[in-house]
Amino acid sequence: MAEQALTDLNVAILATDGFEQSELMEPLKALSRAGANIWIVSPKSGTLRGWQHKNWAEDEVRVDLTLDDTEPDDFDALVLPGGVMNPDALRMQPKAVAFVKSFFDADKPVAAICHGPWTVIESGAARGRLMTSWPSLRTDIENAGGHWTDAEVVVDGNLVTSRKPDDLPAFNREMLALFGRSRPAVIYSNGYAVVAAASGA
């Protein structure tokens, strides 16, 4: 995807402590290179600690907005990184689940990797969808009415999912493509750019 292809797109990355470091940082870098505006959204303020392989990551990530300080309407797309602790904690928090559900209710694009689909399941949005994830989520997805497959990346409507950090190149590629199809239309009027309502995925 060409550089700056997602200019004017506002993307939320929803996370808390225990996210898989590469599954947050690599999509963030890809979105940044594409020109998107990105915010780390979390139930807590301050900084978050990621998990890198079998240890806590050395670098912390600063929270831009808490769930109490923002609304889903402020964003055009959502990224849900994995790590076991991060989505497991988020799916137990009603505000986090409601935040995720709002993106599906509004038909906005969502990208979830590894254990990230846990919050998709909790939001009720897995039903009827073809998805992939870390293999241990297969039963959870199927019990929620979804269809699980073992693939590096799956795109079903406005949802893209992947299994693990090794899938990040494919995940980022399809995330950028999906978000690009859903970016707000820019209408030029008298030399000024006016952002129109976002189109559906």
Sign (positive or negative) of CA dihedral 95, 125, 63, 51: positive
Catalytic residue among 91, 115, 164, 183, which?
115
User: Residue 41 has what DSSP assignment?
Assistant: E
Q: Is 115 a catalytic residue?
A: yes
- Pick from 62, 61, 101: nearest CA to 78: 101
Residues 101 and 83: their CA atoms lie apart, in Å, by 20
From 163, 179, 167, 182, select the one nearest 1 (Cα to Cα).
179
CB 31 within 8 A of CB 38: yes
The neighbouring-strand residues paired with 110 are 78, 159
CA atoms of 150 and 131, how far apart (whole Å): 9
| Catalytic positions | 115
